[in-house]
Structure 1
Amino acid sequence: MTVLATAITVATGQGALAADTSADAMNIARKNACMGCHAVDRKLVGPSFEQIAGKYKGDVQAPARLETKVRNGGSGVWGVLPMPSHPSMDGADIKKVVGWILAGAPPK
């Protein structure tokens, strides 16, 4: 468990990701239609959250880059299908979901 808590701290720049934070992040992802294209553990239209966490593991710039990608959309990293923008999504919600994803999207 210590290794997981350390990994979460590094990935999110915060303390250990509590179970209620995981549940909150999952609810935010569902509310903002993230789960229509992504799943935690398998590829749907876009990569799984676990794949995203693996790709950006150890990248200290990943949180800021992914927060921008969620807000503005993007394409080319995971294939030709673009990720739509989410300009009306609250910035704090984006930060919470990205941190949860980079922590490996642990279940609630």
Structure 2
Amino acid sequence: MNALQSTCVNFGIVSLLVAASNTVLAQSEPSALIDQHHCMFCHTNDAPFLAPSFQQISERYRKAPNARVMLENKLRLGGKAHWGDIAMPLPADRGGPITPEDAHTLIIWVLSQ
């Protein structure tokens, strides 16, 4: 392999690493939103607590058609229980109203777990 080929290979590897790191950053935990809306009062990342874990939610809904929209609406409005007996509390009971953009951010993150 000559120097030009080596440089091209190295550039390609660096490009892939940058793209991968941008994907990870795009899906980093939205900690401020999670804290603001008290998500961790009922959920954890990887084990059921008072509600299903974020990983369980992701496993159930990640590939389901229209799940993202349904989950965003449930997050914004509250809703009936789909897991056991505890329903999603009303927004007023978990930190106040949530914008469609914030609901989208949270649900995209949950579905990436």
Q: TM-score, normalised by structure 1?
A: 0.72
- Residue 106 of structure 2: aligned partner: 97
Residues 27 and 17 from structure 1, CA distance in 2 versus in 1: closer, same or farther, beyond 3 angstroms?
Answer: farther
Residues 93 and 52 from structure 1, CA distance in 2 versus in 1: closer, same or farther, beyond 3 angstroms?
Answer: same
Q: Which has the larger radius of gyration?
A: 2
Q: Does 1:54 align with 2:59?
A: yes
| Deviant stretches of 4+, over 4 Å | none
**Superposition RMSD in Å:** 1.8
Flag the structure with more relative contact order, 1 or 2, with Cα contacts below 8 A and sequence separation at least 6.
1
CA–CA distance in 1 between the matches of 2:34 and 2:56? 16
- Contact 2:27 / 2:112 at 8 angstroms: preserved in 1? no
Letter in 2 for 1:103: S
CA–CA distance in 2 between the matches of 1:40 and 1:49? 5
Q: TM-score, normalised by structure 2?
A: 0.69
CA shift, 1:44, in A, is 1.2
Letter in 2 for 1:42: A
**Structure 2 residues without counterparts, runs of 5 or longer:** 1-21
- Residue 3 of structure 1: aligned partner: none
Residues 40 and 79 from structure 1, CA distance in 2 versus in 1: closer, same or farther, beyond 3 angstroms?
Answer: same
- Residue 11 of structure 1: aligned partner: none
Deviates more, 1:66-75 or 1:87-96: 87-96
- Contact 1:26 / 1:97 at 8 angstroms: preserved in 2? no
CA shift, 1:59, in A, is 1.1
- Residue 33 of structure 2: aligned partner: 28
CA–CA distance in 2 between the matches of 1:35 and 1:49? 10
CA–CA distance in 2 between the matches of 1:64 and 1:17? 22
Q: How does 1:1-108 map to 2 (within 5 A)?
A: 17-19=23-25, 21-23=27-29, 25-86=30-91, 88-104=97-113
**Structure 1 residues without counterparts, runs of 5 or longer:** 1-15
